Amino acid sequence: MTEQTKQNIMEQFKKEDVVVGQGQEAKSGDTLAVHYAGTLADGTKFDSSYDHGEPIEFKLGAGDVIPGWDLGLLGVRVGGKRNLVIPPELAYGDRSAGPIPPNSTLYFTVELVDVK
**92 part of the active site:** yes
**13 part of the active site:** no
Q: Is the dihedral of CA 106, 72, 52, 30 positive or negative?
A: positive
Q: Catalytic residue among 13, 30, 47, 86, which?
A: 47
Q: Catalytic residue among 36, 86, 100, 107, which?
A: 36
Q: Catalytic residue among 46, 56, 58, 64, which?
A: 46
**47 part of the active site:** yes
User: DSSP label at 13?
Assistant: -
| CA angle (42 as vertex; 41, 48 as ends), nearest 5 | 75
> Contact at 8 Å (CB) between 56 and 73?
no
**50 part of the active site:** no
Q: Catalytic residue among 13, 70, 86, 92, which?
A: 92
Q: How many CB atoms lie within 10 A of CB 114?
A: 15
Q: Catalytic residue among 30, 66, 100, 107, which?
A: 66
Q: What residues are labeled active site?
A: 36, 46-47, 66, 92, 108
